[in-house]
Amino acid sequence: MTHSSRPSTEAILTALPALAPYARDAVVLCPERGEPDPRNSSIGGPLLWPSDEPWPECSLPDVDSPDGAPATAMVPVAQIFRRDAPGPWWPADFDLLQILWCPNEHWDPPAQQADISPVVEMRWRRAAEVTNRLTTPPSPSRYDEDGYLPQACTFTARHLTDFPYREELPADLRPQLEELVRATGDGSDVITRVAGWKLGGWPTWHLTYPAVFACGDCGTDLTLLFTMASDAETGVVVGRSGDLRIFTCPADHRHPFQVDLH
């Protein structure tokens, strides 16, 4: 996706100053097929994984294996180093985020996972602590080839300020936002919920009304951490060419995350 038609944050807030309290930092990851190194950020590339840490497996029932056997290795979805995508989503002292998923579609998975989707696993790390890297991670023993084996890509990080969908704003702001959207870009909405592979920002809600997820440990409203988008470059297709999103607790990164399909 190109964001060349999007006005600057300053221009957006000059036109509609009341949007300022709803601004969120975001980094859009623009993927390009490549051969990323384990010590670089990537989508679908090799992970900087400790040799003495078990590789995540999934033994949950899925559409092709009702008993979840044999357990299958998960596959890398994204690896992001803090240096490439700084922002408020990083817990203190961590500089590496790794996301994997089971390359199968699951119905009725555990509550924190999205239905009719891959099951997601996530790790926060300190890259310097990985002194002995796992060089040959296991391959999945069962997998759905249709969209759940991401192609290895490098990416260009595009930093921007994201704004919410109109339904997440007070009623008196919505007409003003709609007018700004109509007057901007190429006729589509380039102001709110910027699409694509994304760290932070606001989630898309084009199929349902906005939902709020509460942290299961402390009750704090979860915020969007990461969006895995359907696109041709990575070969990922989730749902009906939608997004799989990870929401996390802003109070404590150790609290359970929530995955949502949209």
The answer to whether residue 40 is domain-embedded is: yes
Query: So what's the pLDDT on residue 4?
Result: 56
- Residue-number span of the structural domain to which 238 is assigned: 9-261
The answer to whether residue 81 is domain-embedded is: yes
Q: Residue 37 is part of a domain; what is its CATH number?
A: 2.30.320.10
3-state SS record for 157-213: EEEEEEECCHHHCCCCCHHHHHHHHHCCCCCCCCCECCCCEEEECCCCCCCCCCCCC
The answer to whether residue 3 is domain-embedded is: no
Q: Which value, to the nearest 10 degrees, does the dihedral of the CA atoms of residues 136, 106, 104, 239 take?
A: -120
pLDDT above 90: residue 185 = no
Q: What are phi and psi of 102, to 5 degrees?
A: -75, 130
Q: What confidence tens digit (pLDDT) does each residue in 96-147 have? A: 999 999 999 999 999 999 999 999 999 999 999 999 999 999 999 988 777 7
Exposure string for 242-253, b = 16+ CB within 10 A, e = fewer? bbbbbbbbeeeb
Give the chain's mean pLDDT.
93
User: Taking a C-beta distance cutoff of 8 angstroms, is the pair 36, 154 a contact?
Assistant: yes
The answer to whether residue 1 is domain-embedded is: no
> CA 126, CA 94: separation in Å to the nearest integer?
5
- pTM of the model as a whole: 0.94
The answer to whether residue 46 is domain-embedded is: yes
Report the chain's terminal Cα–Cα distance, integer Å: 18
The answer to whether residue 111 is domain-embedded is: yes
Query: So what's the pLDDT on residue 145?
Result: 73
Number of domains composing the chain: 1
The answer to whether residue 4 is domain-embedded is: no
How is residue 15 annotated by DSSP? H
Q: In this structure, what token pair is assigned to residue 236?
A: 């990922």
